[in-house]
């Protein structure tokens, strides 16, 4: 009531950069169209650092003409900007992004504990791993977090918990099995339940350490 759709002028273009369910974006676009208002869903990836550096990846759902009109604004925020399909497609790709990131962080966290317990020089190991097929943006951006146990939030566990709920629900709706994703979603939920929801998602390392007998 008394929201954007009740007040925006007919013909306006709404750029929705929320991370929400694909169906919510589809419903929003339909409700907006009934009032002559256009919408694109344009969630982002890249975290706080990507926003500060204006190098976000922006995944968009909507009409080509609306994407073209919004592009100059999006180019001020991001580096990789792609129209992924109709309304809701941006949210679907964002959900997939959060799935990949969570699984990647979990794998890195397990590797960190394995390496340390094996007596390997952790920094050297992470450097060489990041130079091969195991390398990733996650490992590049979160290396210092792992080395220093610095979990000051760039992207909080609470938010990733929300996003894992979105991806598991959306996958169920389309009949896609996410066996590894479902496990990591539970690990994220467990970490949040232990009071670490306000920490950076690299704090998944804390959960692996607890499982491995560390006193945290």
Catalytic (active site) residue 152: no
| Residue 117: both structure tokens together | 């317990």
Question: Per-residue b/e over 108-125, b at no fewer than 16 CB within 10 Å?
Answer: bbbbbbebbeeeeebeeb
155 within 8 A of 48, measured Cβ to Cβ: yes
How far is 31 from 203, CA to CA, in rounded Å? Answer: 39
Contacts of 148 (CB under 8 A, 6+ apart): none
3-class DSSP string for 170-206? HHHHHCCCCHHHHHHHHHHHHHHHHHHCCCEHHHHHH
Which of these is catalytic: 94, 117, 142, 162? 94
Q: Give catalytic residue positions.
A: 94
């Amino acid at each position: 009531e008394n929201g954007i759709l009740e007040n925006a002028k007919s013909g306006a273009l709404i750029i929705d950069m929320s991370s929400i369910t694909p169906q919510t974006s589809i419903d929003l676009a339909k409700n907006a169209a009934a009032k002559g208002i256009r919408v694109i869903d344009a969630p982002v990836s890249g975290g706080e650092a990507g926003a500060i550096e204006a190098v976000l990846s922006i995944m968009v759902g909507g009409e080509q003409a609306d994407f073209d009109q919004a592009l100059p604004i999006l180019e001020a925020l991001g580096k990789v900007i792609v129209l992924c399909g109709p309304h809701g497609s941006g949210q679907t790709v964002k959900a997939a992004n959060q799935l990949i990131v969570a699984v990647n962080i979990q794998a890195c966290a397990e590797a960190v504990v394995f390496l340390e317990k094996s007596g390997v020089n952790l920094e050297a190991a992470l450097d060489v791993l990041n130079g091969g097929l195991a390398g990733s943006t996650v490992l590049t951006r979160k290396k210092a977090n792992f080395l220093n146990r610095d979990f000051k939030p760039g992207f909080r566990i609470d938010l990733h918990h929300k996003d894992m709920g979105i991806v598991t629900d959306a996958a169920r709706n389309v009949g896609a099995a996410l066996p590894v994703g479902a496990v990591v979603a539970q690990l994220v939920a467990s970490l949040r339940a232990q009071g670490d929801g306000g920490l950076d998602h690299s704090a998944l390392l804390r959960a692996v350490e607890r499982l491995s007998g560390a006193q945290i």
